[in-house]
Amino acid sequence: MSTTKEIINKYNIRMTKSLGQNFLTDENIVRRIVDTAEVNKDDLVVEIGPGIGSMTRELCARAGKVVAVEIDKHLMPALTDNLKDFDNIDIINGDILKVDIRKDILEKYVATGAFKPGCFKVVANLPYYITTPIIMKLLEDEYGINLMVFMVQKEVADRMVAAPGGKDYGSLSVAVQYYSMAEKVFDVPPHCFIPQPDVYSSVVRLRVHEDPPVKVNDRAAFFKTVKAAFGQRRKTLLNALYNSGYFAKDKEQIREILKSKGLDENQRGETLTIEQFADLSNALEKNRHTN
């Protein structure tokens, strides 16, 4: 099997900076990522951004079916050639944010009975510039994915798994933890890539919840409450909610709702747990409809 460097030289591949391309060269890291995804022959695995297929080969060796979605058409010859030994791979040349996952993947493999619910996984070395939109699309659209493993910028991973009260805790933390149980598994140093990024990366595993850990009466209202609370991090919870303009209440109404939920109006949004956000958003939304 050719190394990453040999494939890059063979096909005269030039990394595209605008696509955030950094190819993983360390085979031990590749195996650890696939281990983290707990891939087996029952699984349908979608890999986002396979590049030249270094990790795709390992996925194909372990999974029942792999669907690789690569946006860069210039990588297609190298990717196809590198995977020619496997018959359980489909390659889609497209943007994952525009691919119809339900129609082009789920209906084709899951809905036909080829794979059972609970055996649908996503593995990806995500470009730093578009990490959050991809993760939130996969979580929010509820495709029936049961496990996702991403390699992302270390600071993004820290935000995804952060607990209340710290500087890393924010709206991304709450959103990811609403949909999944998130854990940071290990860090990856820059020298494991070509070209070397300027920062460390981290591998995170998301076990998608069948049901969210908290009950919210209106999901949109819940996330608007979270967004408002973190929108002005230096402001108190009372002022952040009031200044958001979403709740259409005077400050005294919001103050009373916070008090009724046992929350100090002067605390900051980053101190609230996901349970407190759910309770608060339910109260705000209920009050909104009764006024």
Q: Where are the beta strands (DSSP E) in 166-241?
A: 180-188, 193-194, 201-208
Q: Which domains does the chain have, with CATH numbers?
A: 4-208 (3.40.50.150), 219-289 (1.10.8.100)
pLDDT of residue 65: 92
Give the separation between CA 61 and CA 244, rounded to whole angstroms. Answer: 50
Q: Which residue has the tokens 């578009």?
A: 130
The predicted pLDDT at position 108 comes to 83
Amino acid 1: pLDDT: 58
pLDDT one-digit tens code per residue, 236-248: 999 999 998 887 6
pLDDT at 127: 82
The share of the chain scoring above pLDDT 90, in percent, equals 68
Q: Calculate the dihedral angle through the C-alpha atoms of 21, 27, 29, 32, rounding to the nearest 10 degrees.
A: 130
The whole-number pLDDT of residue 13 equals: 62
| Residues 253-264 pLDDT 10s | 999 999 999 999
- Residue 24 among known ligand-binding residues: yes
Helical spans, DSSP H, in 64-142:
76-82, 101, 131-140
Give the model confidence (pLDDT) of 146-184 as tens digits: 999 999 999 999 999 999 998 999 999 999 999 999 999
Check whether 80 has a pLDDT greater than 80.
yes
70 is in an annotated binding site: yes
Q: What is the CA radius of gyration of the chain?
A: 21
Annotated ligand binding at 104? The verdict is no
What pLDDT score does 153 carry?
94
Considering the entire predicted model, what is its pTM?
0.90
Better-predicted residue by pLDDT, 108 or 10: 108
Q: Is 28 annotated as a binding residue?
A: no
pLDDT in tens, 195-208: 888 899 999 999 99
Q: Is the pLDDT of residue 19 over 60?
A: no
Residue 116 pLDDT:
73
Q: Burial-class residue 73 by CB neighbours within 10 Å (0-12, 13-18, 19+).
A: exposed
pLDDT, position 8: 65
- Average pLDDT of the chain is 89
Rounded CA-CA distance 37/42 in Å is 13
The pLDDT tens digits of the residues spanning 52-64 come to: 898 999 999 999 9
CB 8 within 8 A of CB 23: yes
Asked whether residue 38 is marked as a ligand-binding residue, the answer is: no
47 is in an annotated binding site: no
Report the distance separating Cα 283 and Cα 69, nearest Å.
Answer: 42
Look at residue 61 in the predicted model and tell me its pLDDT: 97
Q: How far apart are CA 123 and CA 121, in angstroms?
A: 7
